[in-house]
Amino acid sequence: MSALLIGDEAPDFEVDTTDGVIRFHEVIEGSWAVLFSHPKDFTPVCTTELGMTAKLKDDFDARGVKVFGVSVDPIDDHRAWIGDIQETQGVALNFPLIADPKREVATKYGMIHPNANDTLTVRSLFVIGPDKKIKLKIEYPASTGRNFDEVMRVIDSLQLTAKHKVATPANWKSGEDVIIVPAVSDDEAKEKYPEGWKTLKPYLRIVPMPK
């Protein structure tokens, strides 16, 4: 199938995980979700990534985000690996790891790049909205661990801009000023932002982040 794009519906699937069998669309119903792949169990970068994800559970929970890891390794390998993650990263795994030995999930989400490796997934990450549409897609090579500060930053932006007619500028972080989108007229902006905004150009209007 062709590569998934932002705005496409996230494919559904039923799989075994370290938390039992799940139907993906059922467990994410009404929630934001992150689905991310790691190339292989018992590998160094993946071990640090899963440990970091576990450490960030409170941050994901505060944003209403459900997290799922996936690789093409079988469930027994996942369960054996959990002890290594806790030993080396100092945190117990607290989210489901999907076993995908038949590559069903990897194929539906385009996580295997033949030019890199025709059997292992690259480091793909998808943020999925409550409407089950893909809101973000990031891919890293197998050798480079993800920047989870960036993942959190983008989730904050996606959730803010889903509720308000604003966009976030380069390097934006939660709490900083945002941009009023061009589709909002000045008259409409006056109703939304009675305290005013800063106009740099007619198309570039800066306003404090909506509460």
The H or E element containing residue 69 is: strand 65-71
The H or E element containing residue 68 is: strand 65-71
Q: Are 46 and 141 in contact (CB under 8 A)?
A: no
CA distance 157 to 138: 15
DSSP 4: P
Beta-strand pair 123-128/32-37: antiparallel
Q: Quick check: is 15 catalytic?
A: no
Which one of 4, 15, 46, 56 is the catalytic residue? Answer: 46
Could you give the residue numbers annotated as active site? 46
